[in-house]
Amino acid sequence: MEYKSNNNVVYSCKYHVVWCPKYRRKVLANGVDVRLKALIEEVCHEYRIDIIEMEIMSDHVHLLVEVDPQFGIHKAVKRIKGRTSRILRQEFPWLTTRLPTLWTNSYFVSTVGGAPLSVIKQYIENQKNV
């Protein structure tokens, strides 16, 4: 397993994130998908979020990312969705006529990787014996 670190935390926090356009409309096509991918890469680079995998479907986005726990996954998703919505609606005006906002307020997130819970529990239990 590969770990990352900032000045005071060593971590491995990987998340699978999925979100949809408002009303699950199939608007992420016809160039919007290509531009969205570029914008997500730009935002992630700016906030030092590592993209492990990314897929843009016509009606939803899948991201597999590694995020510094001090920054947080919620803040990461909020920044990505906020910036991409603003810029895409400026660059593709037809998005503003079809949708009141580009993204829904909600998203799915799940942690990924790491050791099984039983192994972590055993590790913690054995710390007293070290």
Q: Annotated active-site positions, please?
A: 123
Helices 73-91, 32-46: axis angle to 10 degrees equals: 140
Of the candidates 11, 117, 121, the residue with the CA atom closest to the CA atom of residue 72? 11
Buried b (16+ CB within 10 A) or exposed e, 37-72: bebbeebbeeeebeeeebebeeebbebbbbbbeeee
Written as six digits, the tokens of 49 are 């979020």
